[in-house]
Amino acid sequence: MINILGRGNKRTARNSLITLLLAVSVIHSAQSLFAEPAKEITVSAAISLKDAFVEIGKIFKERHPGVKLVFNFAASGDLARQIEAGAPVDLFASAAQNDMDDIDRKGLLVANSRANFASNKMVLVKPARSRIPVNSFQDLQKNEIKRVVIGNPKTVPAGRYAEGILRYFSLWDVVKEKLVFAEHVRQVLDYVDRNEVDAAILYSTDAFLRDKQVKTVAVAPDGSHQPIIYSIATVKGTKNENLAKSFISLILSEEGKKVLQKFGFGILK
């Protein structure tokens, strides 16, 4: 084959190719530098909602490809304090109205974004393998019952509901020396699951999750505690208000309600 390019032409072609590659590299770097960052929303939610919200989150991500959904699960009271302290949160889902009321009064929620979406019940449970005779809330005063776990009423809504139940039955002063306070309702569940306590008062949805390890022996009657109403709202300062609205809409949709019902939550009409 005859080489029709001289040395000068070869050098020119090579330099042109290098220049082109450098130009492409510069353009790509500039695009990366100025590209819009991936959108992300953070949802701080009561830990009793964990399983239901994780499943609803999968549906949300299917409908919003490329959006990163971050969950922060803990006791509602602790989450409210985090928001007050300036935690970068887009949505707050609380297991108690008073925690949501608290940050609402402080102007930390987007106006008119708040919505109630589910209900729950409180139950008395014991370890499934326990032979201690616990069949009612009144049985908690029996000598055989040594340790009863509830959420810490100072920060855990389930703990406040449990305290209300014990006071309703005039048992608070009788059993308070037996009480073990947990940091959140899932920790309450863990104590029972590990057979480390004789009884516990927690949400029916949590007992439902481990029905083979935890035996429900009584349901708290209506009026024995404040109604358990879950609410969700957009936190003021969010940079993704439209995505936050979309998540709330999914929670309130028929598809969202079906997931909540699947995990034992009551649906509000």
Q: What is the CATH number of the domain that holds 54?
A: 3.40.190.10
The answer to the question of residue 19 being in a domain is: no
Pick the range with the lowest mean pLDDT from 36-50, 145-159, 226-240: 36-50
102 in Cβ contact with 52 (< 8 Å): no
The answer to the question of residue 22 being in a domain is: no
pLDDT over 60 (residue 222): yes
Extract the runs of DSSP E, i.e. beta strands, from the chain: 40-46, 68-74, 91-94, 115-119, 122-127, 148-151, 179-182, 199-203, 214-219, 229-234, 266-267
pLDDT over 80 (residue 1): no
Tell me what pLDDT residue 206 has: 95
The answer to the question of residue 6 being in a domain is: no
Given 180, 195, 219, the domain boundary residue is 219
Looking at residues 52-73, what average pLDDT do you find? 96
- What total of structural domains would you count in the chain? 2
- Residues 106 and 135 reside in one and the same domain: no
Tell me what pLDDT residue 32 has: 39
- Residues 99 and 132 reside in one and the same domain: no
165 in Cβ contact with 220 (< 8 Å): yes
- Residues 213 and 136 reside in one and the same domain: yes
Q: Which is more confidently placed, 259 or 33?
A: 259
The answer to the question of residue 28 being in a domain is: no
Taking the C-alpha atoms of residue 63 and residue 10, their distance in angstroms, rounded to an integer, is 53
Q: Which is more confidently placed, 112 or 25?
A: 112
φ, ψ at 236 (rounded to 5°): -60, 140
The answer to the question of residue 34 being in a domain is: no
pLDDT over 90 (residue 4): no
- Residues 198 and 237 reside in one and the same domain: no
242 in Cβ contact with 234 (< 8 Å): no
Q: What is the mean pLDDT of the chain?
A: 89
Predicted confidence band of residue 14 (pLDDT cuts 50, 70, 90): low
Neighbouring-strand partners of residue 218 = 124
- Residues 133 and 208 reside in one and the same domain: yes
Domain extent for 103 = 40-119+228-267
- Residues 110 and 174 reside in one and the same domain: no
pLDDT above 90 coverage of the chain, percent? 82
- Residues 210 and 234 reside in one and the same domain: no
The answer to the question of residue 151 being in a domain is: yes
Tell me what pLDDT residue 211 has: 86
Looking at residues 117-137, what average pLDDT do you find? 95
Taking the C-alpha atoms of residue 135 and residue 9, their distance in angstroms, rounded to an integer, is 96
Given 179, 202, 219, the domain boundary residue is 219
pLDDT in tens, 29-46: 444 344 344 589 999 999
Looking at residues 217-226, what average pLDDT do you find? 95
- Residues 100 and 154 reside in one and the same domain: no
The answer to the question of residue 99 being in a domain is: yes
- Residues 110 and 128 reside in one and the same domain: no
